């Protein structure tokens, strides 16, 4: 063990001396002419032109290619994991953070492997926090001088006087106070716990827990195992009440940068993937043959890559893949590649170019990769959706690097703009009630709608809220929740299931940002629901931002079903934003006719259900902190709608509750898309430039 560790330390400290080896090229003019494998051309010759084709066909194909030729196939096996918090200190880092030490016990094949996570959680936090996940090299004890931090299991086997047990010698790479101060949690682990970084490390590694490997030259080794381990850390993090599972940043330096990229390619939970000087087999293009090359890396570290990769020793031009393809697998998530000028062994230009050549996949998603093939100057970071910087100095992780990563993550996790204005929200909850096919013409004549009339009296309303054209369902539900017009959000017709016009903006879930998206961004803890009688709504809103999207199936035989589902959701979940969309009035309109006794009967029935929802807000204890909006997608005439008659285009907009004026008529014009903007105003959310809706400001006190 002792001898093996010396080997590890030797290689760790002396990689720089390889720079003197005659076979390494550092002369840009001696980089061979090379052709990169095409990112968007499938093996069968098909050219990918859409996100769908990329995700369905090309992305899985590239994952297989890289697994079989470079990182190894992740084996199937039922590995059990037990987590145990073995130490906790609520006043770590001078009271800035809560420190936890969490033992992961992996078991399989009758064996166990232990790995110790070191966790810092900011004490000053409101709600869940974003999390940096990353391995350390020389053990948890190396990143802090805190004597309470235990030795990682790998190091526990060493003699007490071993130099490797010296504390804090890697402390400069983990500026914990800065990271915590910025509001991020940190979870780190010694990578040797997962796979001891030695040619003979496999028997002590997590590989030993899997059944006999039958993947031959495509069998995984250390890099595959480290990538797998990062995902197991993410498993644990995602269960923690303090962690925002949507905001995980995976960071890796050098060989850990290679593992981080491979983990990020496979595991979509990592929203940001950071490669710090990952070099050959990481971010750097192999075909440039600059600095460290395939032959050197696979002979120095035969246990890192799958055995197949060594076949390309001295034959990089024959590689059927290159590293830009690895980086592209991280799209549409955030990617940061960083280099150091003094680390030519890692080929900074090759790292930059790989990120640049990954850009076409980001472009498929409508996201900006790196702008040109020309590298930026030192200390001139580019922070597009793909980010890059090169700094002065040697192969290392410095405060300069961390500060850039923190700036980038701040933006990546908030999508680059202030999300919540400084204004206090008007109310804590919004209930939107949408009634399909409810024309304003009906209000003067309708009988037996006491709840609707009471909302009109207690709040404000207009009977001149206009539908967008055509005055049909999907296009109007889309405009109501997406805050914009059909020309911009792209849903243009009655039954739109996908934008007929490309959406002018794609949010984080790759659809036009809705009011649900905005609230989710700003308030990750918000409870968001949408329950409908017509399933067409799910195609035109960002359902991934919604905790509970449900369909009241079979409502035709049970016209109170949706109401019961909504009552349950309100009383049990106390939703922040809840949309209830009834279809039954439109059904009556189509079947029997608008403006008929049956139409008014259905409206009166819906009025009693609205009364029940108001009662459930009271039961849930949130009524006094709620704004209720009752509106419609469109009206109708005779047995239909879709035309330009005001009977079809004008529908009511009623708003009532906390912070809303009483008994006033909303003057001027109001449009379908103004509903979303009004909700954004209630929650003090900044709306995207692609929204054209304006809040109904005159309704507010
Ligand atoms: Zn409709």
Beta-carbon count within 10 A of 541 CB:
26
More confident residue, 425 or 532: 532
DSSP 276: E
The pLDDT confidence band at residue 415, using thresholds 50, 70 and 90, is: low
Q: What's the gap in Å between 676 CA and the centre of ligand 1? A: 17
Residue 493 vs residues 225, 433, 685: alpha-carbon distances, Å: 49, 22, 28
Q: What's the gap in Å between 87 CA and the centre of ligand 1? A: 58
Q: What's the gap in Å between 326 CA and the centre of ligand 1? A: 45
Cα 62 versus chain centre, distance: 22
Note the CATH number of domain 7-412.
3.40.50.1820
Tens of pLDDT along 212-239?
Answer: 888 999 999 999 999 999 999 999 999 9
Residue 41 vs residues 34, 53, 321, 559: alpha-carbon distances, Å: 17, 11, 12, 52
DSSP 70: I
Q: What's the gap in Å between 435 CA and the centre of ligand 1? A: 8
Q: What's the gap in Å between 549 CA and the centre of ligand 1? A: 19
Element spanning 65, H or E: helix 59-66
Q: What's the gap in Å between 594 CA and the centre of ligand 1? A: 13
Q: What's the gap in Å between 528 CA and the centre of ligand 1? A: 23
Closest CA to 310 of 221, 184, 442: 221
| Cβ pair 249, 409 in contact under 8 A | yes
> Which pair of tokens denotes residue 502?
């490309």
Range 468-489 average pLDDT: 98
pLDDT beyond 70 at 13: no
- The average confidence (pLDDT) of the chain is 92
Q: What's the gap in Å between 673 CA and the centre of ligand 1? A: 15
pLDDT at position 584, please? 98
DSSP 23: T
pLDDT beyond 60 at 8: no
The pLDDT confidence band at residue 523, using thresholds 50, 70 and 90, is: confident
pLDDT at position 418, please? 38
The pLDDT confidence band at residue 7, using thresholds 50, 70 and 90, is: very low
pLDDT at position 5, please? 41
Range 150-176 average pLDDT: 88
pLDDT beyond 50 at 9: no
Q: What's the gap in Å between 561 CA and the centre of ligand 1? A: 19
Q: pTM for this one?
A: 0.62
Q: What's the gap in Å between 427 CA and the centre of ligand 1? A: 29
pLDDT beyond 60 at 511: yes
Q: What's the gap in Å between 633 CA and the centre of ligand 1? A: 6
Tens of pLDDT along 554-565?
Answer: 999 999 999 999
Note the CATH number of domain 429-642+649-699.
3.40.720.10
The mean-pLDDT minimum among 78-92, 210-224, 513-527, 542-556 falls in 513-527
Bridge partners for 548 per DSSP: 529
- Where do the domains of the chain lie? 7-412, 429-642+649-699
Q: What's the gap in Å between 598 CA and the centre of ligand 1? A: 17
Bridge partners for 683 per DSSP: none
Tens of pLDDT along 652-687?
Answer: 999 999 999 998 899 999 999 999 999 999 998 888
pLDDT at position 110, please? 94
> Which pair of tokens denotes residue 642?
């879709």
Range 190-197 average pLDDT: 97
Distance CA 450, CA 446 (A): 10
Residue 684 vs residues 420, 459, 526, 625: alpha-carbon distances, Å: 6, 20, 14, 15
DSSP SS3 for 294? helix
Q: Which residues are catalytic?
A: 254, 395
**Ion ligand 1 residue ranges (Cβ < 5 Å):** 436, 473, 586, 633
Of the chain, the percentage scoring pLDDT greater than 70 comes to 95
Q: Where are the beta strands (DSSP E) in 377-523?
A: 382-383, 386-391, 429-435, 460-466
Q: What's the gap in Å between 591 CA and the centre of ligand 1? A: 13
Tens of pLDDT along 60-77?
Answer: 999 999 999 999 999 988
| Cβ pair 343, 323 in contact under 8 A | no
> Which pair of tokens denotes residue 72?
């190894």
């Amino acid at each position: 063990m002792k001898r093996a560790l010396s080997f590890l330390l030797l290689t760790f400290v002396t990689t720089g001396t390889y720079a003197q080896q005659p076979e390494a090229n550092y002369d840009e003019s001696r980089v061979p002419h090379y052709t990169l494998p095409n990112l968007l051309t499938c093996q069968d010759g098909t050219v990918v032109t859409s996100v769908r084709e990329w995700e369905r066909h090309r992305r899985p194909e590239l994952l297989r290619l890289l697994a079989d030729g470079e990182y190894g196939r992740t084996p199937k096996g039922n590995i059990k994991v037990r987590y145990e918090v073995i130490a906790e200190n609520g006043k770590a880092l001078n009271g800035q953070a809560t420190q936890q030490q969490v033992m992961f016990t992996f078991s399989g094949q009758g064996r166990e492997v232990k790995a110790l996570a070191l966790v810092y959680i900011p004490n000053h936090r409101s709600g869940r926090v974003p999390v940096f996940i990353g391995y350390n090299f020389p053990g948890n004890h190396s990143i802090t001088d805190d004597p309470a931090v235990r030795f990682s299991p790998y190091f526990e086997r060493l003699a007490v006087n071993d130099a490797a047990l010296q504390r804090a010698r890697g402390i400069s790479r983990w500026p914990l106070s800065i990271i915590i101060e910025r509001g991020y949690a940190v979870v780190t682990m010694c990578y040797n716990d997962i796979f001891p970084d030695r040619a003979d490390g496999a028997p002590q590694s997590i590989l030993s827990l899997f059944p006999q490997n039958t993947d031959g030259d495509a069998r995984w080794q250390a890099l595959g195992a480290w990538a797998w381990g990062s995902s197991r850390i993410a498993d644990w993090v995602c269960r923690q009440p303090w962690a925002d599972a949507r905001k995980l940043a995976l960071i890796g330096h050098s060989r850990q940068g290679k593992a981080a990229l491979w983990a990020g390619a496979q595991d979509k939970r990592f929203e940001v993937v950071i490669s710090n000087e990952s070099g050959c087999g990481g971010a750097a293009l192999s075909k440039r043959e600059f600095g460290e090359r395939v032959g050197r890396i696979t002979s120095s570290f035969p246990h890192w890559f799958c055995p197949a990769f060594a076949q390309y020793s001295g034959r990089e031009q024959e590689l059927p893949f290159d590293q830009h393809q690895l980086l592209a697998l991280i799209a549409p998530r955030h990617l940061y590649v960083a280099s150091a000028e003094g680390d030519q062994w890692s080929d900074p230009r090759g790292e930059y170019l790989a990120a640049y050549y990954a850009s076409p996949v980001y472009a498929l998603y409508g996201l900006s990769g790196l702008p040109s093939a020309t590298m930026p100057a030192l200390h001139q970071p580019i922070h597009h959706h793909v980010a890059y910087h090169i700094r002065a100095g040697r192969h290392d992780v410095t405060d300069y690097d961390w500060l850039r990563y923190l700036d980038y993550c701040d933006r990546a996790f908030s999508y680059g703009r202030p999300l919540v204005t400084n204004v206090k929200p008007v109310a804590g909850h919004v209930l939107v009630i949408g009634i399909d096919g409810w024309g304003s013409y009906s209000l003067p004549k309708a009988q037996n709608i006491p709840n609707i009339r009471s909302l009109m009296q207690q709040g404000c309303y207009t009977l001149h809220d206009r539908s967008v054209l055509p005055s049909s369902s999907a296009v109007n539900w889309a405009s109501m929740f997406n805050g914009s017009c059909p020309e911009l959000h792209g849903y243009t017709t009655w039954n739109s299931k996908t934008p007929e016009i490309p959406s002018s903006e794609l949010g984080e879930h790759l659809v036009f940002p809705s009011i649900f998206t905005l609230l989710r961004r700003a308030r990750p803890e918000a409870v968001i629901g949408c329950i409908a009688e017509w399933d067409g709504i799910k195609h035109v809103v960002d359902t991934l931002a919604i905790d509970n999207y449900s369909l009241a199936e079979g409502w035709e035989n049970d016209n109170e079903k949706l109401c019961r589902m909504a009552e349950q959701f309100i009383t049990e979940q106390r939703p922040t934003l809840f949309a209830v969309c009834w279809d039954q009035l439109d059904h009556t309109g189509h079947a029997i006719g608008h403006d008929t006794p049956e139409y008014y009967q259905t409206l009166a029935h819906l009025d009693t259900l609205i009364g029940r929802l108001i009662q459930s807000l009271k039961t849930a204890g949130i009524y006094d902190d709620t704004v209720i909006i009752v509106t419609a997608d469109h009206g109708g005439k005779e047995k239909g709608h879709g035309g330009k008659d005001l009977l079809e285009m004008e529908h009511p907009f009623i708003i009532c509750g906390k912070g809303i004026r009483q008994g006033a008529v909303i003057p001027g014009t109001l449009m379908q898309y103004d509903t979303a903007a009004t909700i954004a105003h209630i929650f003090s959310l900044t709306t995207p430039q692609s929204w054209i809706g304006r809040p109904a400001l005159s309704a507010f006190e």
